[in-house]
Amino acid sequence: MRDTATCGVGAVMTFLGIDLGTGSVKAAVVTDEGRVLAEAQRGYRVESPQPGWAQSDPSAWLDAVRSATTDVLKTEQPIAVGFSGQMHGVVVVDENLVPLRPAILWADARSMLQVQSMSQQFSADQLSQLGSPAVPGFAATSVAWLYANEPDVMARARYVLQPKDWLRAALGGAIATDPSDATGTLLCDVVTETWSPAALAWAGLSAQLLPEIRSSNAPAGLINLGREIPAVVGAADTACALAGLGLRPGDGFIAVGTGAQVVSVLAQPDLDASLVTHTFATAGDIGAGWFRVGAVQNAGLSLTTALSWFGSDVAEATAALNDGIQSSDPIYVPYVAGERTPFMDADLRGSWHGIGLSTDRAAMLRSILEGVAQAIALAVTAVTNTGAVLPDVVPLVGGGTHDRVFRQLLADATGCALGVVDVPNAAVVGAAILAAGQVRAANRAEASSVVTPAHTAMQLLAERRETMTQLVRDQQLTSGRSSKSGAGESK
């Protein structure tokens, strides 16, 4: 086979990116300019043996990676490989890197007692130093749950690893992690980007079980994918997406998929003591950069769930949205799975309000789309209220942004001009860019079109968003739970 990476006049150097997502893995061979030459995707199951649990069999990840990379390596021979991966989860392994139990994922909610304990024992300032409020599904709270409920597993543990770090090591690479994944564990000081003795002591975790934190570009040995390929450590999926999009401090994006993210790239590790957002390190060297995230769980997840109750689909809902949101439409509170930004409340639940005899099916379907857009708008407000900035035209990415009518609703709800960017493989491209020794694409991804908010619609949606926010606060008050600050409109 001809080696396109190393031989021939005008030969192109290529790099392999592997993005280990929650439900599937993507593999892509990419040029050093970020152009995708070959790509493949394979899925695997997320298991929920008990309500609120989310876990996966790491061996299924390994099988999927080998299958996907076999496809892309048929015609390409990249000179190095970089890794991107889902954040926050934990893979507990023995000295041979064999998982001792299924990996606990970011979406897991089994550790609520540990969340309460951590919230009580750490002040807001201490938690902000760890980058996040105490929430389930992060490594610290999941590990504390394991020590309390599966002590035999932890007694046999040799390493506690992040998903992409286990994958790389299982393929023959080095045992290590990078700043972006380390700062997403609640075990790491986001300013110094070193493991936090206080957080480790609370979780009962020895530092000897954790990997060394290295640069995302650091060499990480050779991995075996039918042939040996030099690897770099890689980075967390959102950090890789920032790299793939070529974003720098002052930039940011809104991503809409199953969940949604509002991301602002920071020049300094400015902490959020309000604890309504997350602060993580960017890809690259230790201390190279940071980003703020407003994390929304109820985007596509809430949309598809609510539409299923009506036997409907996105096409019917967006057709109903063609008439625009009406002041008489019911208000849909979209939090069917709890919520992170800005409420940080795993016990929140969804509801409809304002249903009357004149409410029809179209109004109900419109309200579902509106509820999702309003949840994202609240995350935008929460992020900017911390002092983080978004660009004048905010890149809009993700599979949930393809419909023109919904993009307009999102612009009207957030008050942001949105630049539609078609980079479906930003994270896997970012992983390949890290393998090339870079920390980001040389050029920012360009928008194919810009959606500007309409003033009249903005006013109506702002009024309805304040009503929705008050409904959430009333729910929390009735249930005896306090609400986080940061949910209101910016002043």
Residues of the chain with pLDDT > 90, as a percent, come to: 85
Residue 354, domain member (yes or no): yes
Note whether residue 7 is domain-resident.
no
Is there a contact between 306 and 334 (Cβ–Cβ < 8 Å)?
yes
The reply to whether 477 falls in a domain is: yes
Do the beta carbons of residue 220 and residue 176 sit within 8 Å? yes
Provide the pLDDT for residue 12: 78
Question: Are residue 143 and residue 49 in the same domain, yes or no?
Answer: yes
What sign results for the dihedral spanned by CA atoms 137, 143, 145, 151? positive
- Name the domain count of the chain: 2
Residue 446, domain member (yes or no) = yes
DSSP conformation letters of 82-100? EEEE-SS-BEEE-TT--BS
Structure tokens at 185: 């564990």
Give 199-216 pLDDT, tens digit per residue: 999 999 999 999 999 999
Place of tokens 């007692």: 113
- 3-state SS assignment for residue 372: helix
Lowest mean pLDDT among 278-287, 315-324, 418-427, 461-470: 418-427
Q: Do residues 465 and 413 touch, judged by C-beta distance below 8 A?
A: yes
How many residues in the chain? 491
Mean per-residue pLDDT, 69-90? 95
pLDDT > 50? residue 5:
no
pLDDT of residue 4: 40
pLDDT at 7 over 80: no
CA angle in degrees (0–180, nearest 5) for 162-175-213: 70
Whether omega before 342 lies within 30 degrees of 0, making that bond cis, reads yes
Domain termination site, one of 207, 233, 259: 233
Same-domain check for residues 256 and 349: yes
Q: Report the amino acid identity of residue 168.
A: R
Q: Is the CB of residue 283 less than 8 Å from the CB of residue 429? A: no
pLDDT over threshold 50, residue 9: no
Q: For all residues of the chain together, what is the average pLDDT?
A: 93
What value does the mean pLDDT take over residues 478-482? 78
Kindly state whether residues 265 and 367 are assigned to the same domain. Answer: yes
> Can you give the CATH number for the domain in which 292 is found?
3.30.420.40
Confidence of residue 186 (pLDDT cuts 50, 70, 90): very high
Q: Under a CB-based contact definition with an 8 Å cutoff, are residues 135 and 87 in contact?
A: no
Do 115 and 178 belong to one domain? yes
Cβ within 8 Å of residue 235, ≥6 positions away? 82, 83, 84, 178, 179, 180, 181, 216, 243, 282, 283, 430, 431, 434
How far does CA 115 lie from the centroid of its chain?
Answer: 20
| For range 357-384, the mean pLDDT | 98
Q: Which residues pair with 14 in a beta bridge?
A: 31
Do 126 and 202 share a domain, yes or no? Answer: yes
Task: Summarize the confidence of residues 256-269 as an average pLDDT.
Answer: 92
Over the stretch 123-169, which tens digit does the pLDDT of each residue have?
999 999 999 999 999 999 999 999 999 999 999 999 999 999 999 99
DSSP secondary structure, 388-432, as one string: ----SEEEEESGGG--HHHHHHHHHHHT-EEEE---TTHHHHHHH
Cβ distance 17 to 27 under 8 Å? Answer: yes
Residue-wise pLDDT tens digits, 331-350 = 999 999 889 999 999 889 99
Domain extent at residue 429: 248-491
Same-domain status, 426 and 333: yes
Same structural domain, 351 and 414? yes
Inform me whether the pLDDT recorded for 402 exceeds 90: no
Is the domain of 163 the same as that of 253? no
Residue 224 to residues 51, 152, 227, 229: CA-CA distances in angstroms? 37, 32, 5, 7
Residue 79 domain-assigned?
Answer: yes
Start-to-end Cα distance in the chain: 62
393 CB neighbour count, 10 Å cutoff: 15
Task: Give the pLDDT confidence score for residue 2 in this predicted structure.
Answer: 32
Pairing of strands 81-85, 14-20: parallel
